[in-house]
Amino acid sequence: MPLRDLDYQARVLARFDEYLTELAAQKAKADKIAAANVGESDPDLIREVPNFPAKTWRALKEAGKLPPSRARVPYSPRADGMKRAVPNVVFKVPTGGGKTYLAVSALSRIFGRYLGRSTGFVLWIVPNEAIYSQTKRQLTDRQHPYRQMLDVLSGNRVLLMEKGDKLDARDVDASLCVMLLMLQSANRQTNDTLRMFKDRGDVRGFFPHEGVVAAIKSGLEADGLADLVQEIRIADPEGGADGKGPRAIKRRPAFAKTEIYLPEVLRVEDDSVRKLDYEQDILFALDWSGLDPTPLIAKIPDNFQSPEQQMRRIRLVDSGEERIVSEVTGNTGERLAFDPAYAVRMVSDIVPNAWIAREIVGALVAGLQRRGFADETLGKLHGLLIEQLRKWLDGERDRMAEAHFRKEVAAGRIQFRLRTDRHNWAMPADSVTYEPEGADQMLGTDGGPLQRSLFSPIYKNDLGKIDEREVAVYLDAEKSLLWWHRNVARHQYVLQGWRRERIYPDFIFAVQPGNQYGKGKRLVVMETKGDHLKGNTDTEYKQAVLDLMTEAFQIDQTQRVGELSIVNPDGTTVECDLVLMSEWKTKLPGKFPH
């Protein structure tokens, strides 16, 4: 696929080359001074290491090589956590102007002209899911020009990574590691997103653990989040029982040899059995043809307001309550046009077929034009229209996906049942704790250690929320309970529904045979939610999936007894449920014999 080489792109990259050439020269001088200072004990002989990015800026300014729009703007310094000067470059690219092309071209120049190597780490942040999916496809496809440019740079050693992938210094030394991250994932806005600090235990070989942990704790305290400091733990898979890394917790002796299986959500076609794949089995199975955007067209108000077209200058300041200051510098005066091709790209993560997406966008524009929206108005509203289109398509996708999922369950092509062919989830022989030996353990109602947890011991900090601890204590005291387990999110048992996001239940427990539910053992998979999440779309979705899985398993029991693929000699049943934290004291007793 040929690439368009636009004139302004060539100008930008030529100016960037000049910047990198000067930057490399200034950095070499700064590195030489820093090296000379090493081991020097006489303060009179120690020279100040210059701010090489600032000197680069001044040199380009004196040579008249700064962009005209920046020639009179003061240099804006950047520094890392160790107060070292950091170069910073921003490309301003219009819609459809080739942002990805410029980014890949810039990487080639940064590694070649400035860093002088072909391996390293690149953090690639994108603004939304649509751009994320598009960029991922381009960089994954070895036939795509962007991927080929990276392959040339790295000598075919590109390692494309996502947020949850392990990061090892050995990979960074040997490969060009490109980690894709969505902007929402990088924002530190809530306590939940701050879990990235304590969950990220798979970064190895870069730095001394104690120093990093201390720096993170110091940063939290500086941000007024000292209450989270106790949640920060060292997490290195190479650690051990000395308290400086995770360590294994074994099952209780009574359950050491017990084989425990749970049903998975499977795709079954003829003799093929595999785990359900969202994109392959749900997203790409949806029929978007003939989708009528009339309801969306009718919802767009005549007085839909476009955002004010302004140029803003964003800068950092050293004092005051707000360290990031945004100032209006004038109106753009730019005339915008609605770009259907750009709109199609912005919804490509929802509607995979670009031809159908183009028909939907075309019908939307035509419908708005019939209502009297002029082309200039559509251009001014392009951002808001795309936002509303995405919201509407997202709802339509969920509606169609749920209908498809339920139809496939009824037809037996999506199944949730225990099988004899090993297509089940097996409970692991051990679990993991980040707590050191001697840490505070959970205590039961009698004041002693918990007795019915599948793994032992159970530490307080392994159940972070007070409500979860109370549920664990209640379960442990139930005499008809065989065992219980706190599921580890993203690592252990998971359920796939009709949305991309998977469901990781919080608790799994087994109830003894011989109760009002029948003679067999009963396995309960339970998700818990805080009261503030009651009624929101995510909670309702998870409840619907869990209810359907319970129903599907029970139907499978009654309608398919005798088939070879069923493993139910003891009449085991599986129930999936979602319980609000304010209701667990009234709902949990119903899970046990009475």
Residue 579 resides in a domain: yes
Q: Is the pLDDT of residue 583 over 50?
A: yes
pLDDT band at 552 (very low <50, low <70, confident <90, very high): confident
Q: Is the pLDDT of residue 536 over 50?
A: yes
Q: Is the pLDDT of residue 556 over 50?
A: no
Share of the chain above pLDDT 90, in %: 15
List alpha helices for 240-305, DSSP H.
294-299
Task: Pull the structure tokens for residue 57.
Answer: 């800026």
379 and 500 within one domain:
no
- Residue-wise pLDDT for 205-252, tens only, equals 555 555 555 655 565 555 444 444 444 554 444 444 444 457 888 999
458 and 587 within one domain:
yes
Q: Is the pLDDT of residue 448 over 70?
A: yes
Q: What's the whole-model pTM score?
A: 0.59
Residue 63 resides in a domain: no
Do 150 and 135 contact (CB within 8 A), yes or no?
no
Q: Is the pLDDT of residue 368 over 90?
A: yes
351 and 288 within one domain:
yes
Whole-angstrom distance, CA of residue 16 vs CA of residue 507: 54
* Structural domain for 234, as ranges: 188-245
Do 56 and 87 contact (CB within 8 A), yes or no?
yes
Considering only residues 304 and 65, tell me which one the structure prediction assigns the higher pLDDT: 65
Q: State the total domains in the chain.
A: 3
Residue 322 gets which letter from DSSP? -
423 and 388 within one domain:
no
Task: Pull the structure tokens for residue 24.
Answer: 């490399």
Considering only residues 375 and 199, tell me which one the structure prediction assigns the higher pLDDT: 375
577 and 474 within one domain:
yes
Task: Residue 449: give its domain's CATH number.
Answer: 3.40.1350
Residue 298 resides in a domain: yes
554 and 481 within one domain:
yes
pLDDT winner (highest mean) among 73-82, 333-342, 550-559: 73-82
Considering only residues 208 and 289, tell me which one the structure prediction assigns the higher pLDDT: 289
Residue 304 resides in a domain: yes
Tally of residues, the chain: 594
586 and 505 within one domain:
yes
Give the residue among 515, 475, 454 at the shortest CA–CA distance from 260.
Answer: 454
Residue 559 resides in a domain: yes
Do 149 and 102 contact (CB within 8 A), yes or no?
no
Whole-angstrom distance, CA of residue 432 vs CA of residue 245: 10
Neighbouring residues of 165: CB distance < 8 A, sequence distance ≥ 6? 179, 202
Neighbouring residues of 347: CB distance < 8 A, sequence distance ≥ 6? 130, 357, 360, 361, 386, 389, 390, 393
419 and 555 within one domain:
yes
Residue 372 resides in a domain: yes
Give the residue among 487, 505, 510 at the shortest CA–CA distance from 572.
Answer: 510
pLDDT winner (highest mean) among 28-42, 207-221, 332-346, 528-542: 28-42
Considering only residues 206 and 7, tell me which one the structure prediction assigns the higher pLDDT: 7
pLDDT of residue 219: 58
Residue 407 resides in a domain: no
Give the residue among 525, 275, 594 at the shortest CA–CA distance from 419.
Answer: 275
Considering only residues 98 and 29, tell me which one the structure prediction assigns the higher pLDDT: 29
436 and 385 within one domain:
no
573 and 479 within one domain:
yes
Q: Which of 375, 398, 421 is the last residue of a domain?
A: 398
Quote the mean pLDDT of the chain: 78
User: What order of strands is seen across the sheet that includes strand 158-161?
Assistant: 120-126, 176-182, 158-161
> How do strand 120-126 and strand 176-182 relate by DSSP bridges?
parallel
432 and 362 within one domain:
no
- Residue-wise pLDDT for 459-482, tens only, equals 888 886 778 888 889 899 888 888
Q: Which of 398, 422, 437 is the last residue of a domain?
A: 398
pLDDT of residue 66: 85
Q: Is the pLDDT of residue 199 over 50?
A: no
Q: Is the pLDDT of residue 393 over 80?
A: yes
Do 413 and 285 contact (CB within 8 A), yes or no?
no
Q: Is the pLDDT of residue 363 over 90?
A: yes
Residue 78 gets which letter from DSSP? -
Q: Which of 373, 398, 423 is the last residue of a domain?
A: 398
Q: Is the pLDDT of residue 134 over 80?
A: yes
419 and 493 within one domain:
yes
Residue 101 resides in a domain: no
Q: Which amino acid is residue 65, in one-letter code? A: K
- Residue-wise pLDDT for 14-23, tens only, equals 888 899 999 9
